[in-house]
Amino acid sequence: MPEVTVYSTQNCVYCRMAKAFLDKAGVNYRSVDVGTDREAAQHMVEISGQYGVPVITVDDEIIIGFDSRKLNELFGSETESEVSDVIIIGAGPAGLTAAVYCARKLLSTLIISENIGGQALASWTIENYMGYRMISGDELMKKFEEQVREQNVRLDLDRVREIRKSGDVFVINTVSDNTYRGRAVIFAQGKHPRNLGVPNEEKFLGRGLSVCSTCDGPLFKGKVVGIVGGGNSALQTAIEMSRIARQVHLIVRSTLRADEEYIRHYKGITNITTHLNHVVTGLSGDSFLTGVTLQERTTGTSKELVLDGLFAEIGWVPNTDFLSGVIDMNDQNEVIIDINTHTSLPGVFACGDVTNVKSKQIIIAAGEGAKAALEAHEYVLRVGNP
């Protein structure tokens, strides 16, 4: 067996997923917490050029992030060819809830997802989910996951590349060249972070630019960081990073759009400097990010800001790139559903933030997941007993 090391932080769900994959594949590995071990963190940066986790070394090979395709190439096995009653794509609040309801209806259920937890994992704290006065997104999703693991549900870590229908069965192909078949499908794959849209963005991703503050935040202890955005996620990240970093710069395109509770809390923090009506127009640095260029939107004047890290919190984009031409979507590339989670294609249902449902909240996504499962159950019974 190769020598495998996983460099991770405690709150990084992608790190946990990488370890879960290796555990499932029976791979022995050494786990190194670079959130607490500064020397190990520096070593990780030196060998990988990354200020983001996870970083996995397999002998002399370095894998950046939770690369499900690469891990499947190295340690995966071929999928079985049986037909599932329901295939759920995505394992956030909507997908995990749908899985529990499907399993309780005795449907053979498969989840395909790159991670467990979805967008909820980006939440440092959640204060509006019933039953919990306050809980982190990671902790809440762990509870969802635990409940799913108690059911007869199969979960494969992969990313869907395409879906098509063959007779009465839906055929799904993944980036790892696996093929799955199901009688019904539930889309619950949520959204991914929106790009800044500036030059050199790809170059600095993982090298000072991050889209996961809960994962990478501990690596910037005592440093100067910037947060881009003015909504709830941006303010929550600024508040949490103010406890980790030496100085936080909050870069807001126009004005703050966060809930009053977040604004009240943020206003009392002395190491946050706010740049209202500014946009990031450039990223600078050699191997790592060292600063950004800000432009004032009214006057057009620019200024340079020296930073060690930058966190983008400017919104989310639906994970629907593989659905073009398959089902109806709106102008925001969200899946269009009716009140009962039906899409334009019979046998395909959708729930959570990937849909055109207006409100994007964890509790709403979970409720929609339950509805989708019940509708899928009814569909499978009808198809099986015409």
Q: Are 250 and 305 in contact (CB under 8 A)?
A: no
H helix or E strand, kind and range, residue 149: helix 137-149
- Longest distance between any two alpha carbons in the chain, whole Å: 68
Choose among 377, 386, 383: nearest CA to 103: 377
Asked if residues 78 and 178 have their Cβ atoms less than 8 Å apart, the reply is yes
In 3D space, the residue among 181, 146, 150, 160 whose CA is nearest the CA of residue 114 turns out to be 160
What residues are annotated to the active site?
212, 215-216
Strand order in the sheet with 272-275: 209-210, 309-312, 224-228, 247-251, 272-275
Rounded to whole angstroms, what are the CA distances from 351 to 284, 346, 363? 40, 15, 12
What CA–CA distances, in Å, run from 178 to 11, 72, 155?
A: 30, 10, 13
